[in-house]
Structure 1
Amino acid sequence: MPKIFESVIGTNITIGTFLICIIAAVAAGFLISILYKATHRKESVSQSYIMSIVMLPGIVSVIILLINDTSKALGLAGAFSLVRFRSVPGDPKDIAYIFFAMAAGVSCGLGYITFAAIFIIILSAVMLVLNAFKYGMPDTSSMTLKITVPENLNYQGLFDSILDENTTSWHLKRVKTVDFGTLFDLVYSIELKNNVDQKKFIDSLRTLNGNLNVTLILYKYDDQIYAK
């Protein structure tokens, strides 16, 4: 096997090998953070999460280097890296990036710098291709629809035809009176087709509800009051 595929760590850890491993791990974290930003261009990203991705491989590599027992080092590094997701619900892809950064850190911590570089290049290329082709993107968007209607309007079945035309599925989640009973708020859970013009969809609903409020909300930004 060529020497570039061998571990840079010998029987004893020197200052030189320690610095090589840490610098390589930090560089790996930086590259993974760039990949994360590239695959989340249309989404808001957290600066703290980006910084965590940069730091994580370096932290994991230090733990691997300083603890002789590799299994114990991996367990400790995993506990530290996933502590954030024990209290805050995380996107599965975000958690996968945590494991990505951990794997790069472990490779660097064990001294296999070349393997870490190849691993990052291959997985980054795969992620960029999948993101470019929008692999796995659903044909619909899960949304919450709130329609306000006057009290004298019989809303039962009124919006069914419009909902059937523009969604793949829908159901009425809640009906609530507002403004001392003068209005009704209807809350629907819908699977809106991605090719639907949302403005035209809302306008068609407004022609039936007396031009009162119509609100369309993505599930993850849904106001908690609608779920109560």
Structure 2
Amino acid sequence: MKDQLLAGLEASTGALTLQDILLNFLIAGILGVVIFISYRISHSGAVYSAKFNVSLIMLTLVTTLVMNVIGNNIALSLGMVGALSIVRFRTAIKDPRDTAYIFWGIAVGVCCGVQEYLLSAIGSGIIFLFMLMFGAVKSNDRYLLVLRGESVAEQALEKAIDQIFGGKAQFKVKNTSNSFIEHIYELSQKQVQQAEKQIGSLTSYLNKIEGMTAVNLISQNDEINR
């Protein structure tokens, strides 16, 4: 029984011809370019990484290579899983969408490696359309308004903030000393835009308060802090 089980594990019934191998890599390369284009369209600005985008194509081809090696050999597939399980990746993912692209590249490589060309093409087409529709969605920017000045400016500053934002500015931090104050407020992008329509430049307006020494407006989002 053990000999029969061992023989079944060692059997390889999916030997590929040179033509099959080349076709697998050709289809994987074409679909890898589709992934490349989709990533380029859905990412823009400082968050876009050309090197990461190229690596998506390489990931697709490498996965195809692995699947060509494994074929239908169960023993080899188990050994490959064990070997790959020791690999540890430390590259930080800057954008949550990058994870979806990594899995997309792996899935295409697996499909091409087992010659499921139609499935990989249809699946990539559907994912491409969804990425076009939702890939450009970005989180709403949040702003930190950091105010520093002399203690004598505290009352005037708080009154100005209440008037500008109608008491809706989210108070985060307050640091004080005998001669120094620091207030930090969290604002939405909409609040900042509405305030600047009324008073012009928010930072310039607050800097005019007597005793103010510094006004900083910091934009924060999931992609990058500015």
Instruction: Verify same fold: TM over 0.5.
Output: yes
Find the partner of 1:47 among 50, 62, 83.
50
Looking at structure 2, the residues matched to 60 and 78 of structure 1 have their Cα atoms a distance apart, in angstroms, of 12
Q: Secondary structure at the match of 1:217?
A: strand
Looking at structure 1, the residues matched to 105 and 188 of structure 2 have their Cα atoms a distance apart, in angstroms, of 34
Shift of 1:194: 6.8
Shift of 1:93: 0.9
Aligned to 2:142: 142
Structure 1 residues 89 and 189: CA distance shift in structure 2, 3 A: farther
Structure 1 residues 22 and 190: CA distance shift in structure 2, 3 A: same
**Which stretch of structure 1 is more off in the superposition, 201-210 or 43-52?**
201-210
TM-score by length of 1: 0.71
Check the 8 A contact 1:60/1:77 in 2, yes or no.
Answer: no
Alignment identity in percent? 21
Find the partner of 1:11 among 14, 17, 41.
14
Superposed, which structure 2 residues align to 1:84-95 within 5 Å?
Answer: 84=89, 86=90, 88-95=92-99
Check the 8 A contact 1:58/1:105 in 2, yes or no.
Answer: yes
Shift of 1:83: 4.5
Aligned to 1:214: 215
Post-superposition Cα deviations, 1:12-64, rounded to whole Å, max 9, x if no partner, equal 21111111111221222221111111011344312221121111110111111
Aligned to 2:62: 59
**Which stretch of structure 1 is more off in the superposition, 64-73 or 122-131?**
64-73
Shift of 1:111: 0.9
Shift of 1:116: 1.0
Structure 1 residues 89 and 114: CA distance shift in structure 2, 3 A: closer
Aligned to 1:200: 201
- 1:33 aligned to 2:43? no
Looking at structure 1, the residues matched to 117 and 83 of structure 2 have their Cα atoms a distance apart, in angstroms, of 19
- 1:108 aligned to 2:97? no
5+ long unaligned stretches in structure 2: 1-12
State the AA in 1 paired with 2:190.
K
**Which stretch of structure 1 is more off in the superposition, 208-217 or 16-25?**
208-217
Greater fraction helix = 2
Q: Secondary structure at the match of 1:193?
A: helix
Structure 1 residues 106 and 176: CA distance shift in structure 2, 3 A: farther
Find the partner of 1:130 among 131, 134, 143.
134
Structure 1 residues 38 and 32: CA distance shift in structure 2, 3 A: same
Structure 1 residues 194 and 30: CA distance shift in structure 2, 3 A: farther
Aligned to 2:9: none
Looking at structure 1, the residues matched to 78 and 181 of structure 2 have their Cα atoms a distance apart, in angstroms, of 60
Looking at structure 2, the residues matched to 125 and 118 of structure 1 have their Cα atoms a distance apart, in angstroms, of 11
State the AA in 1 paired with 2:204.
D
Check the 8 A contact 1:147/1:185 in 2, yes or no.
Answer: yes
State the AA in 2 paired with 1:106.
V
Greater Cα radius of gyration, structure 1 or 2: 2
